[in-house]
Amino acid sequence: MSDGGHLFATLPARTKALQEHAEGITKENSNMSHTETVVTASQDENPLAKYMPKPQVSYPDIPLRHAGFLKKVYVQTWGCQMNVADTERMLSLLGRMNYRPTEVVEEADFILLNTCHIREKARHKVVSRLGELRALKERKPDTLLGVSGCVAQAEAKALAKEAPFVDVIFGPDQIEELPTLVEQALLRPVVKTEFNSNGYSIPVDVIPPYFDETKQEVSKFINIVKGCNNFCTFCVVPYTRGREKSRVSAEVVAEAAYFASRGVKEIVLLGQNVNSYGLDLAGENHKKVTPEALGSLPFAELLYEVAAVPGVERIRFTTSNPHDFTPQLARAFEQLPELCDAFHLPVQSGSDRILDRMNRQYTRAEYLERVGWIRAVRPEMAFSTDIIVGFPGETDEDFEDTLSLVREMQYAFIYAFKYSPRRGTPATRFKEQVPESVKDARLQTLLELQKKETERQNAQEIGQVRNVLVLYKNKKEANAWYGRTFQGRLVKVHSTEVLLGQTLPVKISGANVTALEGSPV
C-alpha cells in the first residue's frame, strides 16, 4: 500500500507532528460557496490531519482536491434498531480514523457487515453476502473486510473458517475497540468476541455521537441498555449480546442534549429490554435487582431526565418486556407530554401455555393488566407488538388464543414471524415441532387479520387533523414529505414549502395500510 493509503491512526507520531506543525490559512474562494481551508504541508504529508478529530460525515470546509486523503467505509446493516445505532457509533469511531461513509462498495477501503442473528435467514444473508464480496477482496486485497454484530458474536469460529478472507470479526461488546481492531487487522486477521464485564459505556464526551450534518436528521436512536437476562426459550440475545448492562443516565442525557443542540426533535431510546434499564447499576457488582426491591423503576426516572433536555419534543422507546413493566412507567406517560402515544409491547403469543413454554414470565391476563395501566392515562395509545406463530407445541387452540388477543388489543400494527430454531436455545430441543406448512398458513391468517385492523384504524383518521413531525423528504415525488403523528403513524404530507423538522397540523385526506396522506392546515 502506498504512503497515502495508510491509516493515519497507525502513525501516531506522524499525526501528532502534523497536528502541531501544519499551518493553515483561510481564504475565500470566489468559485466556491463555502470557505476553503488550505493547509501548508510537504507533499508526503496528509493535508487533512487537522480535520481528523471531526466525527461528522459532512465536511464542507475540506476542498475536493484533498478528498483522496480520506478513507472510505461501506457499512451494510441487518436487524434491529440497536444495530442501526451500533452502526452509527462505529461510523463515529471510524470518522476519527479519517474514514467517511460511501454507498458504493467497490470504492470502499473498509467493508463492514453489521449482522443480525435473530433468525436463520438473517445468518444465511450474511454468508451469501460474504461470498459475493470474496471476488472484490481478491481484486483489491488491501481492502479491509469485517463482520460485526450478533452473527459475528455467535459464530465467529465458523465464519473465520468459512470465510478466511475476512480481516476482522468482532461482537457488539467490542465496538468501542474498533479503532484498535482496525489497526491490528492491517497486520493480521483479528477475531474478538469476548463479553466485556466492565459495564456499558459510550463515552460521547471523548468521541461525539455520529451525526450527519448533510441530512438534517430530525429523529435519532440512543442505546441505553444492551443484553438480556430473561432467557426466553426461543431467543439468542442473551448468548449474542450478553447479560443486561446499562449506560449511566448522565451519559444518555448528554447524548440526547448533543443531538437536540443540532436540531433533533425526537429521541428514540433503545434496548433489548428498556424496562430493565438501570436495574443492574442499582445492584451490587452489576447484579440485577427487581423494581419492587429497589422501590422504583430507573427507566421511568430516565424518561423524566431526557424529557427535561431543551429541544426534545418527542420521546419513543423500544423494546419493553411486559414482566418488568410497573405502574411507575404508566405514571410517566401521565406526566410527560413528550412521551408519544405509541407503545411497542411484544406479547409473542396469546396462549398462557405457549407463554410458559417460551419462559416469558407473564400471563395473558398480566399483559392486559399492563395495557390497562397505560390506556387509563392515554386512551388514544397506539399499541404494536411482536408475535411468533408455530412455536413448538402450538396447537390450533393456542393459535386461536393469539388471534383472539389480537382482536381484543386492536393493535395499530404487528411484527409477525414464523418460529425459527436458533442453535443453542432450549426451544430447539422441544418436541412437537410445528410443520412449515402449518406455520405458513397461520402466519398468513394472522397477517390478514391485522391488515384489516390497520386499514380500519387508518381509515378512521381521514378528516382528522393530526400534529405531524416531518422527518424526511420524499425522494421520488416533488413537494411531498414524510413524517409521523404522535401515535407513530406514517403520513405523506403534500406541500411546496420546506417542512423538514417542523411539527405542524395536517388534515388527513387519504389512507392505506401503509400510510396516511394529507396537507398542512
Enter the pTM of the model.
0.82
User: pLDDT digit string (tens) for 202-226?
Assistant: 988 888 999 988 888 999 999 999 9
Cell of 486: 404522535
Cell of 446: 394472522
Examine the pLDDT at 402 and tell me if it is beyond 90: yes
User: pLDDT digit string (tens) for 302-317?
Assistant: 999 999 999 999 999 9
pLDDT category of residue 69 using cuts at 50, 70 and 90: low
How many CB atoms sit inside 10 A of residue 58's CB?
13
pLDDT category of residue 124 using cuts at 50, 70 and 90: confident
Examine the pLDDT at 47 and tell me if it is beyond 90: no
Residue 104 DSSP symbol: -
CATH class of the domain comprising 198-340: alpha beta
How many CA within 13 A on the CB side of residue 497?
10
Residues 6+ apart with CB under 8 A from 350: 364, 401, 402, 403, 404, 405, 406
Separation between Cα atoms, residue 386 and residue 348, nearest integer Å: 5
What does pLDDT average to over the chain?
86
Phi then psi for residue 451, to 5 deg, are: -60, -45
Question: What's the pLDDT score for residue 294?
Answer: 62
pLDDT category of residue 286 using cuts at 50, 70 and 90: low
User: pLDDT digit string (tens) for 335-382?
Assistant: 999 999 999 999 999 999 999 999 999 999 999 999 999 999 999 999
Separation between Cα atoms, residue 471 and residue 482, nearest integer Å: 6
User: pLDDT digit string (tens) for 185-200?
Assistant: 999 999 999 998 788 9
Question: What's the pLDDT score for residue 196?
Answer: 84
How many CB atoms sit inside 10 A of residue 118's CB?
20
Q: Identify the sign of the CA torsion 31, 32, 33, 38.
A: negative
SS (H, E, C) 136-189: HHHHCCCCEEEEEEHHHHHCHHHHHHHCCCCCEEECHHHHHHHHHHHHHHCCCC
Question: What's the pLDDT score for residue 508?
Answer: 98
User: Average pLDDT for residues 381-401, to the nearest whole number?
Assistant: 98
Helices (H) and strands (E) in the chain, counts: 16, 21
Residue 348 DSSP symbol: B
Superfamily of segment(s) 465-520:
Nucleic acid-binding proteins (2.40.50.140)
Phi then psi for residue 46, to 5 deg, are: -80, 115
User: Average pLDDT for residues 98-112, to the nearest whole number?
Assistant: 95
Average the pLDDT over each of 209-213, 312-316, 402-406, 435-439 and give the range with the smallest value.
209-213
How many CB atoms sit inside 10 A of residue 456's CB?
11
Residue with cell 466492565: 198
CATH class of the domain comprising 71-194: alpha beta
Query: With b meaning 16 or more CB within 10 Å and e meaning fewer, what string describes 182-220?
Result: bebbbeeebbbbebbeeebebebeebbbbbeeeeebbbb
Give domain limits for the chain: 1-69, 71-194, 198-340, 465-520
User: pLDDT digit string (tens) for 136-170?
Assistant: 999 999 999 999 999 999 999 999 999 999 999 99
User: pLDDT digit string (tens) for 451-468?
Assistant: 999 999 999 999 999 999
Do 435 and 494 form a contact (C-beta atoms < 8 A)? no
How many CA within 13 A on the CB side of residue 131?
7
